[in-house]
């Protein structure tokens, strides 16, 4: 079983993938191609994704039972003691510089009061 998820990719690439996979939702493709066809499809996705991103997950013979690959994604697969996990970078711009809460001290810090 193979799943390919496209985000912000050209429509022509989506049409190309429908030759071998079933589009079950916009940008989500599902199918059971052979390893050779799967690798060729992934090469085409990487070559023609333009400004978009792509993710491919497929069944394989390992501890987890699956593997995945990403293209132009902020989240990257990392190996941790034989398991493949997704490394999700933290967005430091969204973190508050001072703790915010509902206490009186927090409100004074936020609004500059005493």
Segment 19-56, tens digit of pLDDT: 999 999 999 999 999 999 999 999 999 999 989 999 99
Segment 60-109, tens digit of pLDDT: 998 899 998 999 888 888 888 888 888 888 776 555 565 566 777 777 77
What is the domain class of 2-88 according to CATH?
alpha beta
Helices (H), the chain: 11-17, 35-48, 104-111
Quote the pLDDT of residue 98.
55
Residue 13 near residue 47 (C-beta atoms within 8 A): no
Quote the pLDDT of residue 100.
62
DSSP structural state of residue 14: H
Query: Structural domain boundaries of the chain?
Result: 2-88
Contacts of 5 (CB under 8 A, 6+ apart): 27, 28, 29, 54, 55, 56
The dihedral built from the CA positions of residue 7, 9, 11 and 17, taken in this order, carries a sign that is negative
* Token pair recorded at residue 47: 């070559």
């Amino acid at each position: 079983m193979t799943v390919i998820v496209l985000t912000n990719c050209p429509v022509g690439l989506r049409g190309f993938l429908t030759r071998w996979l079933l589009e079950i939702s916009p940008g989500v493709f599902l199918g059971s191609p052979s390893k050779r066809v799967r690798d060729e499809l992934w090469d085409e996705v990487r070559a023609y994704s333009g400004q978009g991103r792509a993710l491919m997950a497929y069944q394989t013979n390992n501890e987890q039972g699956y593997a995945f690959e990403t293209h132009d994604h902020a989240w990257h697969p990392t190996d941790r003691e034989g398991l493949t996990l997704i490394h999700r970078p933290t967005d430091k711009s969204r973190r508050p510089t001072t703790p915010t809460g509902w206490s009186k001290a927090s409100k004074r810090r936020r609004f500059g009061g005493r």
